[in-house]
């Protein structure tokens, strides 16, 4: 009986040691870490908004606001990984943004910043000025769907109506760029395109 208890005790001790040390082993970390295989990147910041052809005061004001709000940093292809394609400035991103906690699942939910140029098939070409203003200030698209707050419409709700209208008129003045971004990917589904994790976490 004593021999059996001793054996069980030793087994329990080994199990405890394994439970403590196994997560520190490189092989364990590689297989269990949701961020394994990802590379740290620096997003492009301060990209200038495209110069409009119109000299209208509202359009010029809209360009200033788009630059101030940093729209080009997400909505320009490649900018999220520091490799902006200026031929697709504000034409949407094929690099996705993860919007769920990367530490709770290997396959986060992913959205792709949309095409803000007036292309009728892939951008805002069929949107009215009022619909663009509503999206900016409430996050509600023209089909009534709510965008995720990773697009900071919660902050943009503070825009004056004049500034929101100026942004809409600026976007409508841009040359149309045909560029369809991928569809959003729900949590738990592997994304087929590159993505970046953006988020803020606090210590316990």
Q: Is residue 30 in a domain?
A: no
Both tokens of residue 78? 């490649």
Give 46 or 27, the one with higher predicted confidence: 46
**pLDDT classification of 198: cutoffs 50, 70, 90:** confident
Q: Is residue 1 in a domain?
A: no
- pLDDT of 1 strictly over 70: no
Give the single-character DSSP code of 69. H
- pLDDT of 193 strictly over 70: yes
Q: Is residue 204 in a domain?
A: no
Q: Considering its fold, how many domains does the chain have in total? A: 1
- pLDDT of 94 strictly over 80: yes
Q: Is residue 86 in a domain?
A: yes
pLDDT of residue 23: 45
Give 56 or 19, the one with higher predicted confidence: 56
- pLDDT of 18 strictly over 50: no
Q: Is residue 127 in a domain?
A: yes
pLDDT, tens digit, 9 for 90 and up, residues 22-42: 444 444 444 566 666 677 777
pLDDT of residue 16: 42
- pLDDT of 9 strictly over 90: no
Measured CA to CA, the distance from residue 196 to residue 198 in angstroms comes to 6
Nearest 10 degrees: CA dihedral of 160, 166, 172, 178? Answer: -70
Would you say how long the chain is, in residues?
204
State the residue range of the domain holding 164: 57-197
pTM recorded for the entire structure: 0.78
Q: Is residue 36 in a domain?
A: no
Measured CA to CA, the distance from residue 142 to residue 163 in angstroms comes to 19
Least confident of 170-174, 192-196, 199-203: 199-203
Question: Nearest CA to 153 among 127, 114, 101?
Answer: 114
Measured CA to CA, the distance from residue 65 to residue 155 in angstroms comes to 13
3-state DSSP assignment of residue 53:
coil
For position 133, which CATH number holds?
A: 1.10.760
Q: Is residue 18 in a domain?
A: no
Half-sphere CA count of 27, side-chain side, radius 13 A? 1
% of the chain surpassing 70 pLDDT:
79
- Mean pLDDT over 130-149 rounds to 91
- pLDDT of 197 strictly over 80: yes
Least confident of 28-42, 98-112, 186-200: 28-42
pLDDT of residue 21: 42
- pLDDT of 166 strictly over 70: yes
Q: Is residue 134 in a domain?
A: yes
Q: Which helix (H) or strand (E) holds 104?
A: none
């Amino acid at each position: 009986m004593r021999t059996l208890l001793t054996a069980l005790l030793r087994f329990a001790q080994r199990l405890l040691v394994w439970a403590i040390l196994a997560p520190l082993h490189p092989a364990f970390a590689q297989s269990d870490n949701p961020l394994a295989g990802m590379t740290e990147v620096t997003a492009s910041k301060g990209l200038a908004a495209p110069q409009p052809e119109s000299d209208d005061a509202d359009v010029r004001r809209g360009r200033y606001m788009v630059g101030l709000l940093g729209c080009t940093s997400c909505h320009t292809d490649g900018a999220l990984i520091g490799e902006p394609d200026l031929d697709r400035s504000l034409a949407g991103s094929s690099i996705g943004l993860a919007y769920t906690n990367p530490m709770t699942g290997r396959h986060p939910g992913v959205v792709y910043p949309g095409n803000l140029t007036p292309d009728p098939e892939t951008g805002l070409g069929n949107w009215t000025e009022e619909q663009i203003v509503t999206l900016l200030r409430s996050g509600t698209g023209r089909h009534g769907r709510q965008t995720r707050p990773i697009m900071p419409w919660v902050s943009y709700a503070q825009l004056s109506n004049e500034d929101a209208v100026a942004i809409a008129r600026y976007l409508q003045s841009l040359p149309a760029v045909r560029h369809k971004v991928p569809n959003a990917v729900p949590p738990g589904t592997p994304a087929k395109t590159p993505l970046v994790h953006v988020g803020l976490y606090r210590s316990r």
